Amino acid sequence: MKISVNFRELESLRTSMGAALSSWIIGESKLSDRERLRQELQKGKEIPLIEVEISHGGLLTYKGEQVILYIKDTRKERDTLLHDKENSPRFHLADCRTLDRMRQEGRFERYVVTTKTSGIFLVESTDRETREVEELEAELGACKNCLSELNWRKYKNSNSDTRGRIWNTFSIDDFFAEFSTFFQSKPQHTDVTAPTGGYAKDWADISAQIKQQRNWKCEKCDVDLSQRRRLLHCHHISGVVSDNSPANILTLCVVCHAKEPAHQRMKPSSSDKLNIQRLRLDQGLNS
């Protein structure tokens, strides 16, 4: 059914009032940079692994947002992706030994970062015979190394049957809810509803500048991390993360940072601890 609408009377009224025409266009809205980023992350944003940052407890972040990541180009067959989650690629929740190995090997493949919580991911399959690539949606499982790194639901300390149950019932919604307190702006918030007093919007730039000014060194153990920059954090001494004055910030290696008060849940990976220890020894520092 075709509906005909006549706006002549409305236009006449607008003219008599002297009101200007609105520049608004249907479907258009003005979004802040943060809101636009969150929309992109809901859909999935493809970036190199090197752009992923590590936050409290080894959690993965991108421009201040808590994210999970996966490789879109799975090189797996369609049937495997649709019907065999155990043998399909995994998505990552934390800075686990798998990601660390990728960095060590210089394998900076393009990952997709996302805040989507459905567990259904847009991936690419590859036909083994024709090498034809197809884009499809598939359910992926969580990386088991990540679950172990975070000791999610005591995964690391459980027997194999319990670990299998934890893996099969893993919920991204529950994961974000549990760790959202580590982030001042939760993925589900907009700029309007986000809690005040949190990290500055340009915190990534601020922290990078501070680290550079302090020569990429830990101010507790003095280890030089200029060649391992991701292992250096900025710590707010007062706990007030909106106070970015130089006197309130220490640059700390991940090991020293984890020892600060109220940072019990920040657990550096074993590989990060080993790398810090080796660097201290190489630099003639007490370990």
- Given a cut of 50, is residue 186 above it in pLDDT? no
- Strand-pairing partners, residue 111, are 47
Q: Annotate 117-161 with DSSP letters as a single string.
A: -SSEEEEEEE-TTT--EEEEEEE-EEPHHHHHHHTGGG-TTS-HH
- For strand 73-76 and strand 68-70, is the pairing parallel, antiparallel, or unpaired? unpaired
At CA 64, angle to CA 105 and CA 52, rounded to 5? 10
Can you give the pTM of this predicted structure? 0.56
Collapsing DSSP to helix, strand or coil, 66 comes out as strand
Kindly provide the residue ranges of all beta strands, DSSP E only, lying in the chain, ordered along the sequence: 45-48, 53-54, 60-62, 65-66, 68-70, 73-76, 90-91, 110-114, 120-126, 133-139, 141-142, 232-236, 249-253
Which tens digit of pLDDT belongs to each residue from 129-174?
999 999 999 999 999 999 999 899 999 999 999 999 999 999 998 8
Instruction: Output DSSP code: residue 94.
Output: B
> Are 126 and 74 within 8 A, CB to CB?
yes
Closest to 72 measured CA to CA, from 114, 11, 117: 114
- Given a cut of 90, is residue 219 above it in pLDDT? yes
User: What pLDDT is attached to residue 55?
Assistant: 80
Which tens digit of pLDDT belongs to each residue from 41-88?
988 999 888 888 888 778 898 888 889 999 999 999 999 999 999 999
Which tens digit of pLDDT belongs to each residue from 90-141?
999 999 999 988 888 877 788 999 998 889 999 999 999 999 999 999 999 9
Which tens digit of pLDDT belongs to each residue from 62-73?
888 889 999 999
Side by side, the strands of the sheet bearing 53-54 are 53-54, 60-62, 65-66
Domain extents for the chain? 33-182, 203-282
pLDDT band (50, 70, 90) for residue 188: very low
pLDDT band (50, 70, 90) for residue 193: very low
Collapsing DSSP to helix, strand or coil, 212 comes out as helix
Handedness of CA 198, 173, 74, 97 (dihedral sign): positive
Closest to 66 measured CA to CA, from 148, 186, 157, 229: 186
User: What pLDDT is attached to residue 108?
Assistant: 75
